[in-house]
Amino acid sequence: MSQTRFRSSLLMAPALLWLTALMVVPCALVLALAFFRRGIYGGIDYTFTLENFGLVFNPLYAGIFLKSARIAGTATLIAVVVGYAAAYAIAAAPRRWQPVFLFFAVLPFWSNYLIRTYAWIVLLNREGLVTQLLRWFGYTGEPPSMLYTEGAVIAGLVYNYLPFVVLACYAPLSRLNPELAEASRDLGASAMTTFRRVILPLTVPGIAAGAVFVFVLSIGNFVTPALLGGGRFQMIGNLVYDQFLTANDWPFGAALAMALIAIMLLVLMAQALAADRAAGRAAQTTGGGDG
């Protein structure tokens, strides 16, 4: 027993060291930074203060948090609906075609994130592909302004994180016994009721995992809003970036980063708690054994 424990801690050591050196220590440094003042010429004045955290709740910055949450939330909602539908279709396809469809769904992942995001600029700019396509269909008015809008940012986020949702939802959908849906139909349920009462509840864990992924990655994102939202479009990620690299206010940037991490942790913890409760409910009712 103790030997296996020793062996397992030995196996875990490299990962733990890695995490400590590259995650915990830097995070602790950033956290510490948040409690100091900004120096007059941009450096750090090592006197303790809570001002930076106070500033986070300033309506100006709190507004950016809310906006980021709204954009991430919208992107998550769209990604979940589109991704679930795609995963459903793939899981319903003939078995031997499923890996092929999955491969295509995940294909964008194999190219660089920046290049993928630049591709959207090519699509959405005033004389871009979308405008040309509209012209081809006989549209003659002003080219629509799509790039550098909130919509473009959401589109970029959805596009980039959709594969996560497809994969996360495909797993439970493909494992679902097709006879469950048949049983529901056999017992008198319509196709819609079958989806609502049998298929959806059994695939919620996949949806939750995919949604958390999209939300957490979206709310802290700074590349997509910078490229597709234009220079003045700000999400928290951009704000943090600006504090560190433009405004040279590292302590405030650190406080913002900490607030962002806190939000992400809250979302992840909520998901873990919900999953735990679901598992606990199953475990609680177990134990009677056979009668």
User: Would you give the distance in Å from CA 208 to the centre of its chain?
Assistant: 11
Given 3, 15, 142, 186, the residue binding another protein (CB under 8 A)? 186
User: Would you give the distance in Å from CA 203 to the centre of its chain?
Assistant: 18
Contact 153, 71 (CB under 8 A): yes
Given 17, 92, 183, 279, the residue binding another protein (CB under 8 A)? 183
- In order, the DSSP letters of 11-24 are HHHHHHHHHIIIII
CB of 291 to another protein, least distance (A): 6
Q: How far apart are CA 283 and CA 277, in angstroms?
A: 10
Task: Decide if residue 177 touches another protein (CB under 8 A).
Answer: yes
CB of 290 to another protein, least distance (A): 5
144: nearest Cα among 233, 152, 114 = 152
Residue type, 257: A
Given 29, 113, 182, 280, the residue binding another protein (CB under 8 A)? 182
Contact 207, 169 (CB under 8 A): yes
DSSP letter assigned to residue 36: E
Query: What is the helix (H) or strand (E) element at residue 46, kind and residue range?
Result: strand 44-48
Q: What's the alpha-carbon Rg for the chain, to the nearest Å?
A: 24
CB of 194 to another protein, least distance (A): 9
Given 76, 160, 184, 224, the residue binding another protein (CB under 8 A)? 184
Q: How far apart are CA 4 and CA 6, in angstroms?
A: 5
CB of 98 to another protein, least distance (A): 20
CB of 9 to another protein, least distance (A): 33
Residue closer to another protein (CB basis): 13 or 180 = 180
Given 185, 208, 222, 244, the residue binding another protein (CB under 8 A)? 185
Residue closer to another protein (CB basis): 99 or 201 = 201
Residue closer to another protein (CB basis): 205 or 229 = 205
Q: Which of residues 192-231 bind another protein (CB under 8 A)?
A: 193, 197-198, 201-202
Q: Which residues bind another protein (CB under 8 A)?
A: 177, 179-180, 182-190, 193, 197-198, 201-202, 282, 285-286, 288, 290-291
